Amino acid sequence: MEGVDQTDLGSFRDEIRTWLAENNPGTPPPLDTIEMREWSSAWQRRQYDCGWAGIDWPVEHGGRGLSFLEQIIWFEEYVQSGLPVGHSCFVVALAHAGPTLIARANDEQKAKYLPPILRGETPWCQGFSEPNSGSDLASLQTRAEIDGDMLVINGQKVWTSYAHLADYQELLVRTDFDAPKHKGITWVICDMHTPGIDVRPIKTMDGGAHFSEIFYEDVRVPISNVVDQINEGWSVAMSTLAIERGPAALDYQLGTLRDIDELIAVAKNKGLLKNEELAMRLAAVRAEGAALRSMTYLSVSESKSGAAPSPMTTAVRTFWGELQHKVGRLAVDVLGSESLELGKWSEYWLTQFSAGIAGGTKDIQKNIIGERALGLPR
């Protein structure tokens, strides 16, 4: 497929809408099982074969080399098509491992790892958080000792999404044990099939088990898998987190706006919009959803323009997490006793308890906003 003229974005949008209508899988992916991987792999491969994978990724890495504006249009139409957002074990690979490799990996690493991601062959997971190192990520203690041309890794990670389905992991390890906590960290590509890795799924209250804790015992990873340089991993991790909280979350955030519209439709069908207090709450979250979309576009524009990461990304992440919680609470109120049965909206409510924790707690995020954006004292 050829590049799209910027003056003809309307036709590009129509092309996407038609393709999605004709190729929608029709059924959602299975939950947290090997069948999910098979579903996700097949769907990603179909997008790749038809030219809809990696719209803004460089051509040399299997993408189409188009602008991020065209990638945004894809996200908008994808969300509006009703396809599930974020329910894929390729989320980490596509949303931030791949973009991090594009930005920071060497040519050999890019050639080896990027094309299989777009083809739907290699799911990834993220090995950042630890039992005592979540929001304070720099305090991580998983160790990697240099042994010739290998790193020998020992330690533990937790809250690792889809680790039980992943082939590779973006892994942060401590390689200099005497350096200050933000130094001496290394970002490494870890093959999840390496001996010594023990993945233990964690069942969550919404019935899923996509989180896992991971134990590493003398896991040997080639030094050639280090991205950038040994002991420079904090800088690489900041690139990953900037992507994760910015462009990578765009479809999720647009999905929240779709969820709000669907909830309003449910309330309307139940005749609940006659309840002035409930109608006002629904209108308020709809307005906040529109604000979230505008804030997200501004944040993404800044990141794609090459500007240094700003507190706007953190503000968007915090605002979004609080909005998700409001929507979940509203869903329970709209459904009433029906919410006692496990279904879409009850699952939404249960899932949103993590919205103010994932990616750094809302308290930490607000401290960042206060200190870096408003200049308040620590």
Q: Is 18 exposed, middle or buried (0-12, 13-18, 19+ CB in 10 A)?
A: exposed
φ/ψ of 6, rounded to 5, equals -60, -20
Q: Exactly one of 170, 232, 244, 288 is catalytic; name it.
A: 244
| Pair of tokens at residue 214 | 């991971």
| Pair of tokens at residue 218 | 């003398």
- Rounded Cα–Cα distance for residues 308 and 248 (Å): 17
- Annotated active-site residue 244? The verdict is yes
- Rounded Cα–Cα distance for residues 20 and 85 (Å): 14
Residues 117/56, Cβ–Cβ less than 8 Å:
no
- Helix ranges (H only) for the chain are 9-23, 34-49, 68-80, 91-92, 98-104, 107-118, 233-244, 250-269, 276-304, 311-335, 344-351, 362-368
- Rounded Cα–Cα distance for residues 32 and 214 (Å): 16
- Rounded Cα–Cα distance for residues 261 and 264 (Å): 5
CA-based nearest residue to 19, from 51, 44, 45, 56: 51
With vertex at residue 86, the alpha carbon angle to CA 81 and CA 92, rounded to the nearest 5 degrees, is: 135
Residues 351/206, Cβ–Cβ less than 8 Å:
yes
φ/ψ of 212, rounded to 5, equals -145, 155
Please report the DSSP string for 28-60 in residue order: PPPSSSHHHHHHHHHHHHHHHHTT-SSTTS-GG
Give the active site residues.
244
